[in-house]
């Protein structure tokens, strides 16, 4: 059902490197369809753009982290054990989503769903800890409106928290909609997109625990 | 994937035109939406400009004073950049970029519709202030602390929320075009065979991806400070007003290239066609475009030379800024070299192109002048700056949009705009433009400040201002002629052939009107100027790589409209909670919940599109041959 | 467009095993780097060691960890990720400009 023009095939071979390369290497399930390829690239582009968004909040935070006319200092505020636990939880949830994708590629549907549920639970406990943490800070007098440091802190860390919350809603929706569906080239890109996003959320947290919490103790 | 339904024409419901456009995900129809909305705001922003010029026609005039002038000034700038320049370029990109690369649609048709509706509602939110009496009045740059409620009321909240919505739409458009151009090119369409408009669209989209997030962050912080008690820009709370300027200009300078690179792309399409020569120095053009984008992120401080960041910062950014003049100069020489020795056809589109080269060089030269900090201290906040950026933005972007409109009108609307009216349009606009803005260079050098609603008599500003105002009215006449031309074309114009200009690129290989699937069979691209290559080889049409088959199409959907509507409701709720009553907070939260709900429905409902049957496509294609 | 080719690769046993090893190693490295960063800070506070060194050390660790996660967990190392890699580095470039710009040019410095 292909070629109609006499030179067409030889021309594809000569110039369409990208096409012929795909013919040799079989893609994994999330990249079989054009839609899957688009989704993978689209999420990457979204992540690149979001990096700059977070960078702006980081930059504002770095510029304002000593601007505390009233309210507690970061040294007195942050508790490293709690932050370490949160970090470990989020890192693990990122790893469990890796496991989900590996099982997805092997078409092991129930294993994939199991890992995703685990990811969700870890993410949810991270969110609970963050809510507990923020509540604690508010009681210590470190609020959104207390100082420029306060606004910058909650803008950055809260924005990340909102990403976690959105990710949890997304994952829950995915699990719901795919509860009775098999892994197909139509459903696989959806799971893969989520996992990329979730890794990115974890990646941002690596900088948050370093720049906000650890540097708050020593910087 | 046997689940995708095949729906013949008779099974697809005939929709009313309104519902069709409300739910469409077809890039060609979304192009129409962008075009008409952008044109509407162009008229509105132009009207605002006329109001300002009328006020400034005479010294101590009282036509439009104080607060009203500030409002009109702010809305003119914001409208022209965000609601006119970018959307009209998006209109042209949507209309032709998929055709130029041999794609059947964008990578994400649904997101494309979402982008448009976010822009639509963002623009609406920005203008709601006219009803509630709080119009944005802090300038289009929204400097702090002027944009806080203490100084300019809640007008700037409408500005911030409106920009946030339309900015999100723009960001999604950027991502969409990058994904499309990277992933959806037809076989043989390698990167170095893409038409230059595709290249500039790609690079402008990358700029959008990286430049809009700092603005988004800045606007969030602005909204926090205005409506939620944030302290980022409140000096008493330890805040810093310079942060806004940084965030705004980290966005703002790439934004200049976002609106001017696609303009360069349009001229790079128009000039070769009407010179009957291929574009001179194509690889140099590509590299120059990429370099402009790269350096574009290292120059933002040249908007802030007088802030007092010190000689080191000013020095570094001055050097980077002057460097950008080099790739831009390369482009100018390439366009001239393309025309050199060519068989020129001076169509309306070509008029705009030649007018552009002349005008843009002048804007570029003043740009280099301002790149030098000691000199910039003289020019800063005077009419010299106003003259400079109107030379680049009108001379570059607006001229390109007119050129693109005359050039691609047959592809977009199936008719040819009237050339005689087009030339009248051009000459009125061109002469009016130079009359308005050339003299403003001198007004600035003589010391007239920008953004101020009046001036004293006897300072030597009187005559120059009157000349400038008369020029503005000449431009307005030009635009009215354009409007008449559009109406005339729709009423009296004859259907245009598929390839009225003897075009070179792939979009002219599609049928007139373009079918919704663009290409019945995907073409094979064998070089730069793919269509011209086949014409020279004596072929009537493009070679194809496949036989007729069922074509997969995305379903149209009302969800993008609903998602944008609910976000707009949320935005208004959050503003009104401070402006009127705290109870509006629930409207804000409700809007967010509804948005999430729409997203939920989008996610759980399977939407695999449908197939147009092969028989129908064959029938349509046969029809085309007989015409 | 969906379903244009329905054949896709199911990784074989050997590939699964090696991939599992790589991914688990990345996880172990991430946890290790995190512990190292927290440990360095705790050490610096208790010993009163050079805080400037501690800051640059933990930032370096963060960059290494992010690179690890991006290349392994987010599959940048795999074939066909040229374009995502390109955009990853563009994001790094703009991020660096933004952060450096705001850090050094927002407060008065002689």
pLDDT digits 0-9 by tens, B333-373: 999 999 999 999 999 999 999 999 999 999 999 999 999 99
C45 within domain boundaries:
yes
Residue B98 and residue B410: Cα distance in Å, rounded?
A: 16
Question: Cα-Cα-Cα-Cα dihedral of B457, B458, B462, B464, to 10°?
Answer: -150
Range of C36's domain?
13-78
C56 within domain boundaries:
yes
Neighbours of B55 (CB within 10 A): 21
The residue of chain A nearest to residue C64, with distances taken between CA atoms, is A206
- Cβ neighbors of A65 (< 8 A, separation 6 or more) are A74, A149, A152, A153, A215, A216, A219
The residue of chain A nearest to residue B606, with distances taken between CA atoms, is A177
Write out the H or E segment, with its range, that includes residue B253. helix B242-275
C40 within domain boundaries:
yes
ipTM of the complex: 0.94
Q: Residue B187 pLDDT more than 70?
A: yes
Residues on chain C touching A49 (C-beta within 8 angstroms): 91
Neighbours of C105 (CB within 10 A): 21
CA atoms within 13 A on the CB side of B246: 26
DSSP B605: S
**How much of chain B exceeds pLDDT 90, in percent?**
89
**How much of chain B exceeds pLDDT 70, in percent?**
98
CA distances for B105 relative to A189, B488, C26, C75, angstroms: 20, 31, 39, 28
pLDDT in tens, B535-547: 999 998 899 999 9
Report the residue of C1, C3, C92, C110 to disrupt the B interface, i.e. the one with the largest count of B CBs within 10 Å.
C1
**Rounded mean pLDDT, B300-316:** 91
C8 within domain boundaries:
no
Residues on chain A touching C16 (C-beta within 8 angstroms): 102, 106
Question: Cα-Cα-Cα-Cα dihedral of A40, A46, A48, A49, to 10°?
Answer: 170
Residue A188 and residue C9: Cα distance in Å, rounded?
A: 13
Q: Residue B75 pLDDT more than 70?
A: yes
The Cα of A39 is separated from the nearest Cα of chain B by a number of Å equal to 8
* pLDDT at site B322: 93
Q: Could you say which residues from 29 to 88 on chain C have a Cβ atom under 8 Å away from some Cβ of chain A?
A: 30-31, 34, 37-38, 41-42, 44-45, 51, 54-55, 58-59, 61-62, 65-66, 69-70, 73-74, 79-80, 83-84, 87-88
C109 within domain boundaries:
no
Residue in A32, A59, A91 closest to C6 by CB: A32
Chains in touch with C (3+ beta-carbon pairs under 8 Å) read A, B
Residues on chain A touching C74 (C-beta within 8 angstroms): 196, 199-200, 203
Neighbours of B175 (CB within 10 A): 26
* A18 — pLDDT class (breaks 50, 70, 90): very low
**Rounded mean pLDDT, A196-217:** 95
C35 within domain boundaries:
yes
Residue B430 and residue B434: Cα distance in Å, rounded?
A: 6
The Cα of C14 is separated from the nearest Cα of chain A by a number of Å equal to 13
Write out the H or E segment, with its range, that includes residue B5. strand B5-6
Q: Residue B450 pLDDT more than 80?
A: yes
* C109 — pLDDT class (breaks 50, 70, 90): low
* Residues of B engaging C, defined by a Cβ cutoff of 8 Å: 1-2, 4, 104, 182, 206, 209-210, 214, 240, 242-243, 246-247, 250, 297-298, 300-301, 308-310, 313, 552, 608-609
Decide if B149 contacts B228 (C-beta within 8 A): no
C46 within domain boundaries:
yes
What are chain A's domains?
Answer: 30-218 (1.20.120.80)
Neighbours of A141 (CB within 10 A): 13
Whether A53 and B190 lie within 8 Å, measured CB to CB: no
| CA terminus-to-terminus distance, chain B | 37
C51 within domain boundaries:
yes
A6/A209: higher pLDDT: A209
The residue among B326, B323, B306, B324 whose CA lies nearest residue B373 is: B306
Residue A133 and residue A79: Cα distance in Å, rounded?
A: 9
| Total structural domains within chain C | 1
Q: DSSP 3-state assignment of B57? A: coil
Burial class (CB in 10 A: 0-12, 13-18, 19+), A51: buried
Beta strands B610-612 and B551-553: pairing type?
A: antiparallel
Q: Residue B424 pLDDT more than 90?
A: yes
Decide if A122 contacts A90 (C-beta within 8 A): yes
Whether B183 and A67 lie within 8 Å, measured CB to CB: no
Q: Residue B627 pLDDT more than 70?
A: no
The residue among B615, B519, B453, B575 whose CA lies nearest residue B126 is: B575
The residue of chain A nearest to residue C108, with distances taken between CA atoms, is A63
What are chain B's domains?
Answer: 5-557+607-626 (1.20.210.10)
Write out the H or E segment, with its range, that includes residue B612. strand B610-612
Q: Residue B277 pLDDT more than 60?
A: yes
């Amino acid at each position: 059902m292909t070629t109609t023009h006499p030179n067409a095939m030889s021309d594809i071979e000569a110039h369409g490197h990208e096409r012929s390369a795909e013919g040799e290497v079989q893609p994994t399930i999330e990249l079989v369809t054009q839609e899957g390829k688009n989704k993978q690239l689209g999420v990457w582009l979204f992540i690149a753009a979001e990096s700059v968004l977070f960078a702006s909040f980081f930059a504002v935070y770095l510029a304002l982290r000593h601007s505390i006319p009233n309210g507690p200092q970061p040294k007195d505020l942050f508790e490293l054990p709690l932050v370490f636990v949160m970090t470990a939880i989020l890192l693990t949830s990122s790893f469990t989503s890796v496991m989900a994708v590996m099982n997805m590629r092997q078409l092991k549907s129930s294993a994939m769903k199991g890992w995703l549920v685990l990811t969700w639970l870890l993410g949810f406990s991270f969110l609970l800890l963050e809510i507990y943490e923020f509540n604690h800070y508010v009681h210590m007098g470190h609020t959104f409106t207390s100082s420029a440091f306060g606004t910058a802190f909650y803008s950055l860390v809260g924005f990340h928290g909102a990403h976690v919350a959105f990710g949890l809603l997304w994952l829950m929706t995915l699990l719901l909609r795919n509860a009775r569906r098999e892994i197909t080239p139509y459903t696989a890109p959806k799971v893969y997109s989520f996992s990329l996003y979730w890794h990115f959320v974890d990646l941002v947290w690596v900088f948050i625990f370093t720049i906000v919490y650890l540097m708050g103790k020593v910087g | 994937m046997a689940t995708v339904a095949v729906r013949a024409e008779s099974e697809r419901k005939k929709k009313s035109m309104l519902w069709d456009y409300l739910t469409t995900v077809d890039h060609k129809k979304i192009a129409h939406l962008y075009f008409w909305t952008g044109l509407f705001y162009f008229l509105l922003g132009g009207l605002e400009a006329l109001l300002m010029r009328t006020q400034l026609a005479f010294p101590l005039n009282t036509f439009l004073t104080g607060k009203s002038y500030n409002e009109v000034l702010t809305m003119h700038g914001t409208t022209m950049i965000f609601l006119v320049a970018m959307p009209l370029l998006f209109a042209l990109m949507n209309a032709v970029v998929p055709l130029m690369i041999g794609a059947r649609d964008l990578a994400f048709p649904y997101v494309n519709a979402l982008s448009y509706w976010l822009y639509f509602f963002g623009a609406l939110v920005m203008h709601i202030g006219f009803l509630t009496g709080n119009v944005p009045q802090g300038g289009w740059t929204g400097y702090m602390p002027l944009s806080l409620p203490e100084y300019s009321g809640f007008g700037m909240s409408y500005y911030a929320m409106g920009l946030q919505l339309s900015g999100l739409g723009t960001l999604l458009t950027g991502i969409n075009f990058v994904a499309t151009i990277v992933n959806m090119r037809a076989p043989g369409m390698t990167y170095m065979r893409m038409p230059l408009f595709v290249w500039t669209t790609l690079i402008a989209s990358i700029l959008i991806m990286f430049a809009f997030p700092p603005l988004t962050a800045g606007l969030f912080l602005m909204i926090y400070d205005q409506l939620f008690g944030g302290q980022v820009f409140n000096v008493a709370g330890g805040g810093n007003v310079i942060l806004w300027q940084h965030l705004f200009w980290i966005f703002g300078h790439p934004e200049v290239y976002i609106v001017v690179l696609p303009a360069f792309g349009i001229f790079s399409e128009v000039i070769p066609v009407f010179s009957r020569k291929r574009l001179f120095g194509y690889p140099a053009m590509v590299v120059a475009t990429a370099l402009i984008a790269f350096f574009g992120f290292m120059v933002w401080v040249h908007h802030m030379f007088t802030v007092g960041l010190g000689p080191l910062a000013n020095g570094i950014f001055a050097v980077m800024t002057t460097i950008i003049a080099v790739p831009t100069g390369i482009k100018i020489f390439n366009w001239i070299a393309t025309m050199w020795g060519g068989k020129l056809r001076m169509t309306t589109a070509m008029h705009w192109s030649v007018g552009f080269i002349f005008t843009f060089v002048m804007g570029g030269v003043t740009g280099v002048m301002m790149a030098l900090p000691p000199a910039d201290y003289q020019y800063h906040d005077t009419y010299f700056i106003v003259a400079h950026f109107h030379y680049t933005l009108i001379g570059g972007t607006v001229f390109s949009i007119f050129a693109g409109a005359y050039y691609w009108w047959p592809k977009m609307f199936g008719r040819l705009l009237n050339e005689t009216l087009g030339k009248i349009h051009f000459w009125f606009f061109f002469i009016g433009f130079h009359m308005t803005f050339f003299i403003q260079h001198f007004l600035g050098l003589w010391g007239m400040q920008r953004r101020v609603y009046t001036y004293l008599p006897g300072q030597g500003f009187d005559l120059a201002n009157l000349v400038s105002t008369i020029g503005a009215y000449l431009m307005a006449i030009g635009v009215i002629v354009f409007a008449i031309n559009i109406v005339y074309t729709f009423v009296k114009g004859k259907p245009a052939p598929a390839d009225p200009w003897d075009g070179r690129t792939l979009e002219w290989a599609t049928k007139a009107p373009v079918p919704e699937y663009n290409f019945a069979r995907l073409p094979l691209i064998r070089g730069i100027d793919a269509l011209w290559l086949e014409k020279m080889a004596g072929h009537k049409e493009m070679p194809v790589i496949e036989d007729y088959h069922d074509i997969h199409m995305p379903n149209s959907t009302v969800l993008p409209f609903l998602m944008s509507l609910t976000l707009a409701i949320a935005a208004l709720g959050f503003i009104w909670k401070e402006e009127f009553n705290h109870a509006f907070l629930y409207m804000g939260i409700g809007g967010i919940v509804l948005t999430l709900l729409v997203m939920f429905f989008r996610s759980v409902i399977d939407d695999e599109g449908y197939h147009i049957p092969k028989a129908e496509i064959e029938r349509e294609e046969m029809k085309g041959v007989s015409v | 467009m969906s379903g244009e080719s329905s054949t896709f690769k199911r990784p074989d046993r050997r590939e699964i095993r090696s991939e599992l090893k790589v991914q688990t190693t990345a996880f172990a490295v991430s946890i290790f780097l995190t512990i190292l960063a927290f440990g360095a800070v705790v050490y610096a506070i208790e010993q009163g060691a050079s805080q400037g060194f501690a800051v640059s050390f933990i930032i370096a660790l963060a960059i290494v960890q992010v690179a690890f996660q991006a290349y392994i967990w987010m599959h940048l190392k795999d074939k066909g990720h040229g374009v995502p890699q390109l955009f990853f580095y563009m994001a790094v470039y703009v991020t660096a400009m933004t952060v450096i710009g705001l850090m050094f040019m927002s407060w008065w410095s002689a």
